[in-house]
Amino acid sequence: MNIKLMTLSIILLTLVSWSGCNNQNNKEKNEATQKENVSQQSIDKTDTVEQTKSNENSNKLENIVHDANGVENEETSLYNSLESSPSNIMLGKSYLTLNSRLHLDLMPSPEPDHKPSLFINISLVDRTDNSIPEDLSVDKIYLIQDTTINEVAVEKVFNKSNSEKLILNYNGPKLDTKKKVDIVLELSLEGEIYRISQRAQKIMVTH
């Protein structure tokens, strides 16, 4: 009887010891797995950050390339739009065209603070002698030299006749007098915007 009890006790102790070892091994395995998961998550996060940085740099590079090539650039888009403006437009019964003159007066002036400025004189003319719509608004003047765009305010507008408007600006931008200028006039009528152009205009200089 005592022998049986001793044998049973030994078996129980063995089982308890084995269970404890097994639990310890499982705990160690779980801890190792958790460490591995944390390490992998850290690696994945680092990879994600690096990929994001790479994408950002790629986008910046693309933007630089686009700007250099004149693609998807706001100023270039405006330039292309202005350069595609027609030299004549039809508004109702009016067939409109431009007759422009650019003049730079370099004559000496008695005024001490006098600075030479470009005088812009633009006639908007109906070639069919029909009346220009009364509510036609003259909004902007663009002067383009090479690829440089100069937006100029409209200072005065006169109705010389029913078929001709005179648009003036007395303080135009400083331009290279040896190079020709493209002139674009921006108009609006009943909420619609129109542009009309006159190409390769010389700057007349008075010395």
pLDDT tens-digit profile of 122-160?
Answer: 999 999 988 999 999 999 999 999 999 999 999 999 999
Sort 205 into a burial class: Cβ within 10 Å, 0-12 / 13-18 / 19+.
middle
pLDDT tens-digit profile of 66-98?
Answer: 333 434 456 788 899 999 999 999 998 899 999
pLDDT value, residue 13: 54
pLDDT value, residue 105: 84
Find out whether 103 and 119 touch, Cβ atoms under 8 Å. Answer: yes
- End-to-end Cα separation, the chain, in angstroms: 136
> Residue 79 has which token pair?
């330039």
pLDDT value, residue 207: 77
Three-state secondary structure along 24-38? HHHHHHHHHHHHHHH
